[in-house]
């Protein structure tokens, strides 16, 4: 089912989404990938506040290529989410609304998605030029020294993604593959 949704996303809104839904996201999202997650974890360990409020917010696992003149951002597709699995349950328990990435998640992340009532979206890996066009603005809000891995606030419009893990724990990667698997020749 095709749906238009807004970011940030409340847990009530996330509960309406089902694995396999094709969504177009409009609103504000934040980027963070490997190095930013490591740093957020260290910040939390020290008992200090994070540079962004996680409540209902959406984290996009993405590190862009540099923007050409006149463009807000360069190529901007998703990176592999599983590298963030180690850090994710803690962020979900702190209120993170949703994540956008690509690839499988660990059982611990799935459990935390169900527990917190959030959702995991996949954007199409390797479609960085197309996804770049759905980003209206980009601003580094933290960890500027990390370059492409800095935390950015993005304004997006009709950003295409697919619900892969929903708040009930359904996982499209597991179900859809079985649907198209064929017997050995």
Partner 1 sequence: MDQEEERILRTIQTREITENIREMCIEANHFLSQDMCRVFYQAAEKEESPLGKQILEQLKENLQIAGEDRIPICQDTGMAVIFLKIGQEVHFEGDSLADVVNQGVREGYTDGYLRKSVVKDPIERENTKDNTPAVIHYEIVDGDQVEITVAPKGFGSENMSRVFMLKPADGIEGVKNAILTAVKDAGPNACPPMVVGVGIGGTFEKCALMAKHALTRNLEEESPVPYVRDLEKEMLDKINRLGIGPGGLGGTVTALAVNIETYPTHIAGLPMAVNICCHVNRHVRRVI
Least distance (Å) between residue 160 CB and partner 1 = 7
- How deeply is 78 buried, as exposed, middle or buried, from its count of CB atoms within 10 A (0-12, 13-18, 19+)? buried
Residue of 54, 67, 81 whose CA lies nearest to 142: 54
Cα separations in angstroms, 166 against 62, 102, 113? 21, 14, 8
Least distance (Å) between residue 33 CB and partner 1 = 11
Does position 141 bind partner 1 by CB under 8 A?
no
Does position 181 bind partner 1 by CB under 8 A?
yes
- Residue number, 114 or 130, with CB nearest to partner 1: 130
- Residue number, 54 or 156, with CB nearest to partner 1: 156
Kindly identify the residues of this chain, within the stretch 10-49, that bind partner 1 according to CB under 8 A: 20, 22, 35
- Which region, judged by CB under 8 A, interacts with partner 1, from 50-58, 84-92, 123-131, 150-158? 123-131
- Which region, judged by CB under 8 A, interacts with partner 1, from 3-11, 40-48, 51-59, 126-134? 126-134
Does position 77 bind partner 1 by CB under 8 A?
yes
Cα separations in angstroms, 81 against 48, 108, 157, 182? 25, 13, 22, 28
Query: Which residue's structure tokens are 């993604």?
Result: 161
- What Rg, from alpha-carbon coordinates, does the chain have? 16
Cα separations in angstroms, 18 against 14, 50, 83? 9, 30, 24
Interface residues toward partner 1, by CB under 8 A: 20, 22, 35, 62-68, 71, 74-77, 79-80, 82, 102-104, 122, 124-130, 132-133, 146-148, 160, 162, 164, 172-173, 175-185
């Amino acid at each position: 089912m095709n749906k238009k949704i807004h970011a940030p996303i409340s847990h009530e809104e996330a509960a309406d989404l089902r694995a396999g839904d094709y969504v177009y996201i409009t609103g504000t999202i934040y980027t963070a990938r490997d190095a930013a997650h490591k740093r957020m974890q260290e910040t939390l360990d020290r008992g200090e506040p994070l540079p962004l409020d996680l409540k209902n917010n959406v984290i996009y696992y993405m590190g862009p290529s540099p923007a050409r003149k006149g463009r807000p951002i360069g190529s901007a597709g998703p990176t592999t989410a599983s590298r963030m699995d180690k850090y994710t349950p803690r962020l979900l328990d702190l209120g993170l609304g949703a994540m956008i990435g690509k690839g499988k998640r660990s059982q611990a992340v799935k459990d935390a998605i169900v527990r917190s009532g959030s959702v995991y979206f996949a954007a199409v890996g390797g479609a960085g030029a197309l996804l770049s066009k759905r980003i209206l603005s980009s601003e580094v809000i933290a960890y500027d020294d990390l370059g492409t891995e800095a935390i950015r606030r993005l304004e997006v419009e009709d950003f295409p993604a697919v619900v892969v893990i929903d708040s009930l724990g359904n996982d499209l990667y597991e179900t859809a593959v079985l649907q198209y698997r064929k017997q050995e020749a």
